[in-house]
Structure 1
Amino acid sequence: MPYEPPTHTVERSLRATTGAKTVAGVDEVGRGAWAGPVTVCAAVTGLRKPPAGLTDSKLISPKRRAELAPLLERWVTAYGLGDASPQEIDELGMTAALRLAAIRALEALPVRPDAVILDGKHDYLGPPWQVRTVIKGDQSCIAVAAASVIAKVRRDKVMAELGAESGEYEDFAFGANAGYPSPVHRAALEERGPTAHHRLSWSYLDALPKWQHLKKVRFSAEAAALESGGQLGFDF
């Protein structure tokens, strides 16, 4: 099924209505995983024509993503990456962890953006950032699409390297599933239990009686108050 290519329409609107000179597209990957960090990329693209085939990373084959990511890294004006670790996710909850990772990505940019285009309908950044949320922004907005590809390829590489680390985590097949749910991943969890790279507040532990004692209280009361502001969907 063909998809409409992303455009600079939202970025042009922000420039026209707010006077923003630097606009960053922001997207995340790893939100629905059982293991590994959540990774956020902030990309500034200006208004130039992107490399051919750019769209939401989930609509691009792994081979093409791997080819496209280095092209995008050279093509963008700037990009920054930020992670929140499994331990931070357990402590803070996903909303606050996403915000932490996004701030790290934005602060990694050489210039602070005047405005941010955030994929999805929930603004997990908030003040003082000027945010425009866009549902399916990773399909419709060039800067967000670029961020989605760079973040996806970067996180997949991190998880593949982790899966090959001295063979210690080979049974979990992180190189194939990137820490997301899969039959192989579940079987390894049942046999070996969670590793230091797993999120111990996640509900997958409820189905693993042998390891339920490891489950942590999901996050602090302060983070729970923030989390209750909106439910975020998973990006499998």
Structure 2
Amino acid sequence: MPSALIADDEPNLSAELASRLTRFWPELQVVSMPRNGVDALAQLNEKRPDFAFLDIRMPGIDGLKVAQLAPQVRVVFVTAYDAHAVEAFDASAVDYLLKPVTDERLLRCITRLQQQGGASAQDAATVGASLAKEMTPIRWLTVAVRDTTKLVSIDDVQYFQATDKYTEAVTREHRHLIRTPLKELLPRLDSEQFVQIHRGVIVAYAAVDYVEHDLLGRLRIHVLGGDTVLPVSRAYAALFKRM
């Protein structure tokens, strides 16, 4: 029976991936779900699973280092960051999944794992092109709410705002914290639906009530359904000159 380890410092995300893997690949046994790189490496040495689904940014040792130090195991990186793709395939990764992972993409990964040889011999120079094809716009956000994981439709988000350590996804009713930095999130948003208006703010066109021009020529966006006002920095002001 094939076995797998899932390492992610967000236990809700590990549990969700384990559930989906079990649904799509009933024969696969998930033997461990460590929450940091040190424990992941220890569990890989102890349990010797066939496959390891590793987050890249983890406490202790990052996923790339775990893959380098791990015993014979076929590695799939599951991450919100596309910047490490070439490094991942240099580490002989079988696949590289960008969060949030769609069912279709996960099924393609499972098929690859079930085939002999997998994709570890992929030329790293072609990784960027293949990832670009797979980076379809996000349709759902996975957010943690206390001890549960919730899906939030991207259509419900009025704007994203950077905080010290996280990004806030703001809907009419709630403010959700997500771990993906704004600069990593922007390429995965539909450019016809969202626009960056400030270094730390991305707004949905549909959420714009009106744009205010003050006497100094500065722009501010008033968001529908409330009192929220978002500043537009000079670098992005040209996008709203006609509004």
TM bin, normalised by shorter chain, reads under 0.3
Whose helix fraction is larger, Structure 1's or Structure 2's?
A: 1
Whose strand fraction is larger, Structure 1's or Structure 2's?
A: 2
TM-score of the superposed pair, with normalisation by structure 1: 0.28
Q: Which has the higher contact order (CA 8 A, sep 6+)?
A: 1
